[in-house]
Structure 1
Amino acid sequence: MTRDLTVTEVRLTPILIADPPLLNTQGVHQPYTPRLIVEVVTADGIIGYGETYGDAKYLELARPLADRLIGRRITDLNGLFGLELAVDASRVENAVDVGGLRGVQTADKLRLSVLSGFEVAGLDALGKALGLPVHALLGGKVRDFVEYSAYLFYKWAGHPEGVDCEKDDWGAALDPAGVVEQARGFTERHGFTSFKLKGGVFPPQEEIAAVRALAEAFPGHPLRLDPNGAWSVETSVEVARQLGDVLEYLEDPALGTPAMAEVAARTGVPLATNMCVTTFAEIKEAFTSNAVQVLLSDHHYWGGLRNTQHLAALCAAFGVGVSMHSNTHLGISLAAMTHVASTVPGLHHACDTHYPWQSEDVLTERLTFDGGRVAVPDGPGLGVELDRDRLAFLHRRWAEDDGRLRDRDDAAAMRVAEPGWTAPPTPRW
């Protein structure tokens, strides 16, 4: 039977999902974070799912893109990137997207982040039409399980009093003992064997002490530290000197490729990034200056799963390691991350994921970690199903919001607890 793979409908559902009070150098996560669920429907009734950022500027681009997909075939994935979409440059010009610490925001990067959700939805629909998993559409998996790292955060016990929020059971983590206890929780619940600490929150010596405590509690386990560019070159070099014997890599200690290159020249600790290299145009300077030894890909940033494969191939050509960055996400994105990660031959570092922090999802069944790994789905498409009642509930939360939470802003969330707070200048230390 010949299937009609023409797109007849595209559904865009912005939602707000619960987020714990996780701290970073810019502030604290809001009690709810916006995401966008994309559904691409074919003439035969096949529905493909995608997920990306749900802030207003992404929605502004997603809506005209959805209209332009009607009448196209889901097999025309390359054609997605040929669609001209006007980006309001005033919304991104000279801006730093501190919500989620996504690095410098550009019109092209914003466009790719929107396109990524549609590409994943198209691949999911195509896989369902052909009876093939997404990893088969990407050339086939080279591993049956994808390893993920526990993503540790300094954390308040709860959001400020009086703030509408969902409760979590993780407790506070504001010192080395709290960080170690949090890591034990991740190990007991999900079996993680490597750990990444989000730094840039406290003075470097306090964060050095936390990493040392992790090394003592989990001897021999891979450890990473990520201060999101909060340190000067001198501070970065000193932290690398003090932690060089326990760190797998140091992620974005200083801001920008020139600063990273200087740090790399003065330390033997590998440097990773998801901030100074987030587009193909930024690769040449970073790789030729040896500023980066591990690149953390993110299919949302780079325009989808196939671009992620292209990126991994470039990393292999330059001898740069590759792994995967994570931001607040749900199960659709975790499934997409797992599919593409399963196809990358040189994936030698566990991938990041925020998923264990998210108590809510839009799937009928959450993905699970066993020994810190996710089994690569072999069912058609992404191998996940949408829970429409849950999707409707999370959309109502978005619709009923007064607009304060529809754009992620960690500094604004911090001002609820500390009036007058502004994001610290860079470098912070």
Structure 2
Amino acid sequence: MTIERIETFAVPPRWLFVRVETKEGAVGWGEASLEGHGEAVEGAFVSLRERFIGHDAAEIEEIWQIGYRGGFYRGGPVLMSALSGLDQALWDLKGRALGVPVWQLLGGRVRDQVECYAWIGGDRPDEVGEAALARKAQGFRAVKMNATSELNWLSSPRDLDGVVARAAAVKAKGLDIGIDFHGRVHKPMARRLAKRLAEIEPLFIEEPLLSENIEGLEQLSRMTTIPIALGERLYTRWDFKPFLERGIVDIIQPDLAHAGGISEVRRIAAMAEAYDVALAPHCPLGPIAFASCLQIASTTPNFVIEEMSLGIHYNTGGHDLMTYLADKSVFALTDGFVQVPPGPGLGIDLDETLIRELARDFKGWRNPIFRTKDGNFAEW
């Protein structure tokens, strides 16, 4: 199967789809979304096309190794997102060509269905309570919310009251909750907040500090019994290695559109299993990335829960992962679970006409800029 064409499509709300076609007519789709930096990822495909058009599409590992190591400079969000999209597309193409699901190519399933959670917003307890009920009506049993919009190095302890009250309001609706600090909270307040949240018993606290503050994360991990989740801003097994070796993380969250696709995330998950660390892939993205996550989730023993960007999500402009599906029933949610797609490749069929149509007029997306009350820049 000789690669003849590699196309990219930037589409709303902020996603980058990849289409690979062979001379024999086999087609596969991947997702290389890197929110706010789509043009940079598209630029990385210039060299990937030069390298791999004419290459055998079946040699997925060979392509991955050359794509990662062949340019001398390696890693990072842009290059790894491009490689992720290409890798997903090659797995999809191979599965379709052979008439089997990707999970079959990965050795078969260890589970038939995948538990999912969704994001909720709201600044007050009543708002997050209503959002939680809306997610419960969709079929979710677990949700995730941001901890706070801002906590500086020495915010008032009273600022923690609202975070705890909002988390308690969600638990009162009968749902489990993960709490995302999003790297916004500085170490002194992160320690205080983690202590206060222990009474709520969340599923996890996510990115309690930025991943580059590995020493602070190590200190925090020794102070709390709440599972610590992180990894959406880590891109290879080598990025995850020190967090595993130092016992900092309990749940890793690699993003299959950023962290080397199906091939690399499978290796990251296997490495984490040896440290008794669970896998919960990050995926506030589109249908191809989510379908890829389901392939990994279904074949990974230490998988626990999957993020799902289903409807009423933030900043989507009315688009969610169902928008581009030809068959929208494939991701049906029942009692918190999505069935693993049985179809060949990634198990989804896309509306290619709609993708090409919306890509023609899409102007791109930029991360919003937030500021604290004193005017200082705040983490997104």
- The answer to whether the superposition gives a TM-score over 0.5 is yes
1:228 maps to a residue whose letter is H
* Aligned-pair CA distance for 1:45: 1.1
Measured in 2, the distance between the counterparts of 1:36 and 1:277 equals 19
> Which residue in the other structure is 2:338 paired with?
374
Moved more, 298-307 or 335-344: 298-307
Amino acid at match of 1:151: W
Q: 112-121 vs 240-249, which deviates more?
A: 240-249
Aligned-pair CA distance for 1:193: 0.4
Out of 361-370 and 53-62, give the one that drifted further: 361-370
- Structure 1 stretch 67-76 or stretch 111-120: which is displaced more? 67-76
Q: In the alignment, residue 161 of structure 2 is paired with which amino acid?
A: Q
Provide the secondary structure at the position in 2 that maps to 1:261. Answer: helix
Corresponding position: 1:51 with 2:19: no
- State how far apart, in whole Å, the 2-side matches of 1:247 and 1:48 are: 38
CA drift of 1:421 comes to 6.3
Matched, 1:7 2:37: no
Deviation for aligned residue 1:377: 0.9
Which deviations, in whole Å up to 9, do the C-alpha atoms of 1:201-237 show, x marking residues without a partner?
154332221001112221xx43210111222223222
Aligned equivalents of 2:10 and 2:234: distance in 1? Answer: 28
1:364 aligns with 2:333: no
Q: Which of residues 73, 79, 86 is equivalent to 2:62?
A: 79
Identity %: 25
Alignment of 1:15-414 (within 5 A): 15-17=11-13, 33=14, 35-53=15-33, 55-81=38-64, 82-83=66-67, 107-153=75-121, 173-189=122-138, 191-201=139-149, 203-218=159-174, 221-245=175-199, 246-255=201-210, 256-275=213-232, 277-327=234-284, 329-348=285-304, 350-356=305-311, 357=313, 359-360=318-319, 361-366=323-328, 367-398=331-362, 401=363, 406-411=364-369
Report the count of equivalent residues.
Answer: 354
Q: TM-score, normalised by structure 1?
A: 0.77
Paired letter, 2:76: D
Alignment pair present for 1:424 and 2:373: no
Contact 2:236–2:268 (CA under 8 A) maintained in structure 1: no
Q: Distance in 2 between matches of 1:192 and 1:381?
A: 26
| Alignment-mate amino acid for residue 302 of structure 2 | G
| Distance apart, 1:80 and its partner CA | 1.9
| SS of the residue 1:48 aligns to | strand
CA distance in 2 between partners of 1:384 and 1:184 (Å) = 29
Secondary structure of residue in 1 paired with 2:378: coil
Q: CA separation of 1:67/1:278 partners in 2, compared to 1, >3 Å: closer, same or farther?
A: closer
Question: Secondary structure of the residue that 1:324 maps to in structure 2?
Answer: coil
Pairwise CA distance, 1:407: 4.6
Query: Alignment partner of 1:272: what SS?
Result: strand
State the alpha-carbon separation in 2 of the partners of residues 276 and 66 from structure 1. 26
Contact 2:236 2:260 in 1 (8 A): no
Cα drift, residue 299 of structure 1: 1.4
Alpha-carbon RMSD: 2.4
For 1:62-98, what per-residue CA distance to the aligned partner results, in whole angstroms no more than 9, with x for missing partners? 23313432111111112223136659x9xxxxxxxxx
Shift of 1:284: 3.4
Conserved in 2, the CA contact under 8 Å of 1:48 and 1:122?
Answer: yes
CA distance in 1, matches of 2:288, 2:379: 35
Q: How many Å separate the matches in 1 of 2:297 and 2:233? A: 21
- The DSSP-based 3-state class of the residue aligned with 1:347 is coil
For residues 354-399 of structure 1, the C-alpha deviation after alignment (integer angstroms, 9 at most, x for no partner) is: 233254322212332222221111111112122123112311222x
- 5+ residue gaps, structure 1: 18-32, 90-105, 154-172
2:115 touches 2:306 (CA, 8 Å); kept in 1?
Answer: yes
**What is the SS of the residue equivalent to 2:333?**
coil
The 1:137/1:57 distance shift into structure 2, 3 A limit, reads same
Amino acid at match of 2:281: M
SS at match of 2:114: strand
